[in-house]
Structure 1
Amino acid sequence: MFSKSILIAALLFAASAENAAHADGAAISSGARLAATCAACHGTNGATKGETLPPIAGQPKEALAATLRAFKSGSRQSTIMTQIAKGYTDEQIELLAAYFAARK
């Protein structure tokens, strides 16, 4: 059984994590850490040029999140992105979308 102090600590952690995820600055900072894994294909800021990998920097957050969710669910297929997106939580998808939407 969980002690009261562990339960309280878990609730406080969850509340602070939720607040941080909704703050634009925190979302972009956390998104930047996650986006480091995207750099090999999409460039350091998501500003690739070319038809093979269209730029994702500056795209609407909602569109980016929807695309990542589609890759995660398998409704949009890709050799690599389908597998990568499966590893992201819904919160991480929102953080990545916020980060790349804020890029120019």
Structure 2
Amino acid sequence: MHEPRFLAAAVLALAAPWALAQGPDANLARNLAATCANCHGTNGNVRGKEVKPLAGVSAEKILAQIADYKSGAQPATIMHQISKGYSDDQLKLIAAWFAAQKPTP
């Protein structure tokens, strides 16, 4: 009666090391950063001057700005809420992804 559960557990136990060896989802950073496109533009290249572009900005600078939004040191309309919705690891992925994008003139 417990055989199907045991079999499923055994398959998962054997698959776990393989899944870890494959590394994180190659598109995870891009997918997380896509949520920023509404304001910061596709690939961090914003149109207009109301919102700062993120493409090509160093990851360290982006993370420092996000930390200021999270702490309330930097005033914001929505960024203080959005920045709190991500883990530190997710924010590092997002910042690195934007830093790697080419700014458009």
CA distance in 2, matches of 1:49, 1:41: 9
- The runs of at least 4 aligned residues of structure 1 exceeding 6 Å deviation read none
Alignment of 1:1-104 (within 5 A): 16=20, 20=23, 26=26, 29-104=27-102
Alignment check: 8 A CA contact 1:46 1:103 kept: yes
User: When the two structures are aligned, how many residues end up with a matched partner?
Assistant: 87
Instruction: Give the RMSD, CA atoms, in angstroms.
Output: 2.5
Identity of aligned residues (%): 47
Cα offset, 1:51, TM superposition: 2.3
So what's the TM-score if we normalise by structure 2? 0.70
Alignment check: 8 A CA contact 1:73 1:86 kept: no
So what's the TM-score if we normalise by structure 1? 0.70
Alignment check: 8 A CA contact 1:65 1:97 kept: yes
When Rg is computed on C-alpha atoms for both structures, the one with the higher figure is 2
Unaligned runs of 5+ in 2: 1-8
Cα offset, 1:68, TM superposition: 1.1
Tell me the alpha carbon deviations over residues 69-99 of structure 1, each in whole angstroms, 9 at most, x when there is no partner.
Answer: 2111222120111110011111111011001
Unaligned runs of 5+ in 1: none
CA distance in 2, matches of 1:80, 1:72: 11
Q: Which amino acid aligns with 2:77?
A: T
Q: Secondary structure at the match of 2:44?
A: coil
